[in-house]
Amino acid sequence: MKVLVIGSGGREHAIVNKISTSAKVSKIYCAPGNAGIAEKAECVDIAVSDLNGLADFAEEKAIDLTIVGMDEPLVAGVVDVFEERGLRIFGPRKNAAIIEGSKAFSKDLMKKYGIPSAAYETFDTPAKAIEYLRTSQYPIVLKADGLALGKGVLICQDYSEAEEGVKLIMEDKHFGTAGDRLIIEEFMTGREVSVLAFCDGTRILPMTSAQDHKRAKDGDKGLNTGGMGTFSPSPFYTKEIDALCRETIYQPTMDAMKAEGRDFVGILFVGLMLTKDGPKVVEYNARFGDPEAQVILPRMKNDLIEVCEACIDGRLDQIKLEFENNASVCVILASEGYPMHYEKGYPIHGLEKFRNKEDYFVFHAGTIKDGENFITNGGRVLGVTAKGKDLQEARHKAYEATTWIKFANKYMRTDIGKAIDEVQ
């Protein structure tokens, strides 16, 4: 079968890498893709926002299945456009992708159906938000309502920081129209865990757990980013917590969306906080996480194509997910200055060392090709992933592998997965 993957980052590279191992797949296209993806798929220069252009291409090439990696086309309704043309596509429709597209929607959904999450208020004007903050308890969390590439969240320690945050989001439009509305949330404490799950509209099948590191600097300091690294599984996500989440969060979310007439088919990403009062939802996403996909998919034994098709056909009950009994760690190599101002256009050296090396992966995010040379072309440049018998070994191997790669202004956190040491 011929498969089209929509997106251009490390997540899409991980998806392409996984489906390239499927006996069902004869040809992979990726729109728009990147220089690393081009080694396993034919990249086509169609923007993820060009929904009709993507559908035209799928018709022209008789694509058997399209997998959507990015949030933007999902929230814009790419699944609806494809389905109207009778094209097979994996991902939630527009009316279900709103669970990521609007944080206000998802918070209201959780409140209505009793799904545990942080207390919150929603604001349409900066004046009302600032007035509310004068009597709030700190620290407090500000969230832009719409899509902000994983960066639209500010944790504020006091009123003055919060006031500046409101202005940044709602007046300066630092995150664009995502900041037209603002959610102010209580600050939750505990361990953060990411759980991605396959959904067929009725059933939900969680994958193995992972933990992301969102802040730019060591020690969880600095600005929020799209993710600086991750590990899987999380030692803090026990069987007991998994059972509790299935009962109080995962299935209730599916049931809530169905009750709202928004049947969810695709990947539901549940960001959790393991608080002293039990697990609570931090946020929902409507697609594979990035960089979570880079540690989860390499450990997945199932054929991803088979699972995606079971979701589309409403027969997820026939699938038993299996993951390797090991661990994986991904360290993001970024351009110095990310997520703010950074330079690009530097040659990347050392990628050849990953060829035919078992348990090591390098997933491209911000790269282009200049002749035979790979060049930096983004804030997050590469994701270096390694598998090991346990998290300590995987972490050691991942950091060892980061030394193989050289480019000017290379930056990475040095403490990805350090929390592992506290429990093992």
Q: What is the pLDDT of residues 257-279, one digit of tens each?
A: 999 999 999 999 999 999 999 99
Strand partners, 274: 191, 279
User: Is pLDDT above 80 for 127?
Assistant: yes
Question: What is the reported pLDDT for 422?
Answer: 62
CA dihedral 292, 143, 95, 85 (to 10 degrees): -60
Question: What is the reported pLDDT for 17?
Answer: 97
Question: What is the reported pLDDT for 423?
Answer: 53
Give 224's pLDDT tier (boundaries 50, 70, 90): confident
User: Is pLDDT above 80 for 421?
Assistant: no
Q: What is the pLDDT of residues 165-223, one digit of tens each?
A: 999 999 999 899 999 999 999 999 999 999 999 999 999 999 999 999 999 999 999 98
Question: What is the reported pLDDT for 6?
Answer: 98
Give 152's pLDDT tier (boundaries 50, 70, 90): confident
Percent of the chain with pLDDT over 70: 98
- Is residue 304 within 8 Å of residue 266, measured between CB atoms? no
Helix or strand (DSSP H, E) at 40: none
Percent of the chain with pLDDT over 90: 94
Residues 6+ apart with CB under 8 A from 126: 166, 167, 170, 171, 182
Residue in 123, 89, 131 with CA at minimum distance from that of residue 104: 123
Residue in 295, 109, 55, 292 with CA at minimum distance from that of residue 196: 292
Q: What is the pLDDT of residues 54-101, one digit of tens each?
A: 999 999 999 999 999 999 999 999 999 999 999 999 999 999 999 999
Give 103's pLDDT tier (boundaries 50, 70, 90): very high
Question: What distance in Å separates the CA atoms of residue 103 and residue 97, rounded to the nearest whole number?
Answer: 11
Question: What is the reported pLDDT for 150?
Answer: 67
Question: What distance in Å separates the CA atoms of residue 184 and residue 130, rounded to the nearest whole number?
Answer: 10
Q: What is the CATH number of domain 119-186?
A: 3.30.1490.20
How far apart, in Å, are the Cα atoms of 262 and each of 99, 257, 265, 297?
A: 10, 5, 9, 27
Q: Report the side by side order of strands in the sheet with 2-7.
A: 42-43, 27-32, 2-7, 65-68, 89-90
* CATH (one of 3.90.600.10, 3.60.15.10, 3.30.70.100, 1.10.357.10) for 327-422: 3.90.600.10
Most confident of 139-153, 218-232, 303-317: 303-317
Give 21's pLDDT tier (boundaries 50, 70, 90): very high
Prediction pTM value: 0.94
Question: What is the reported pLDDT for 356?
Answer: 87
Residue 117 sits at φ, ψ, to 5 deg, of -160, 180
Question: What is the reported pLDDT for 223?
Answer: 86
Question: What distance in Å separates the CA atoms of residue 62 and residue 91, rounded to the nearest whole number?
Answer: 19
User: Is pLDDT above 70 for 11?
Assistant: yes
Number of H helices, E strands in the chain: 13, 22
CATH architecture of the region 191-318: 2-Layer Sandwich (3.30)
Give 320's pLDDT tier (boundaries 50, 70, 90): very high
Residue in this structure with the two tokens 């018998």, named with its chain if needed: 389
Indicate the domain borders of the chain: 2-93, 119-186, 191-318, 327-422
- Is residue 169 within 8 Å of residue 175, measured between CB atoms? yes
Neighbours of 185 (CB within 10 A): 21
Give 144's pLDDT tier (boundaries 50, 70, 90): very high
User: Is pLDDT above 80 for 295?
Assistant: yes
User: Is pLDDT above 60 for 335?
Assistant: yes
Residues 6+ apart with CB under 8 A from 193: 209, 210, 211, 234, 236, 237, 271, 272, 273, 274, 279
**If you average pLDDT over residues 350-358, what whole number do you get?**
93
- Check residue 209 and give left, alpha or beta (phi > 0: left; psi -120 to 50: alpha): beta
**If you average pLDDT over residues 116-139, what whole number do you get?**
94
CATH architecture of the region 2-93: 3-Layer(aba) Sandwich (3.40)
Question: What is the reported pLDDT for 298?
Answer: 98
